[in-house]
Amino acid sequence: MTIDYRSFIERRAQVCGGEPVIRGTRVTMRTVLASLAEGASVEEILTDFPTVSRDAVGALIAFAAASAQEDLPTPPVPSLA
């Protein structure tokens, strides 16, 4: 299943200095990902940011994973022969 990140993430110059935010909110992508990295659960994020949906958090995680995959060099797969 492919997620349409644009339906969850937006970037506007007049909102949070142009940082990517969850569409329709002022909650930045960086804030949500940093909370997850610090050990917050999705439930805690939803409680802390009631304007954020579970689907939006999932989309941010998927977007970050896809971005990391594109940006990181992939070492060659070793041959088994």
Structure token digits, residue 62: 């998927």
pTM, rounded to two decimals: 0.78
Full DSSP string of the chain: ----GGGTEE--TTSGGG--EETTSS-BHHHHHHHHHTT--HHHHHHH-TT--HHHHHHHHHHHHHHHHHHSPPPPPPP--
Closest by Cα among 11, 22, 68, 66 to 45: 22
Tell me phi and psi for residue 22, to 5 degrees: -70, 125
Yes or no: domain 5-71 corresponds to CATH 1.10.10.10 = yes
pLDDT in tens, 50-76: 999 999 999 999 888 888 776 556 666
pLDDT in tens, 2-53: 778 889 999 999 999 999 999 999 999 999 999 999 999 999 999 999 999 9
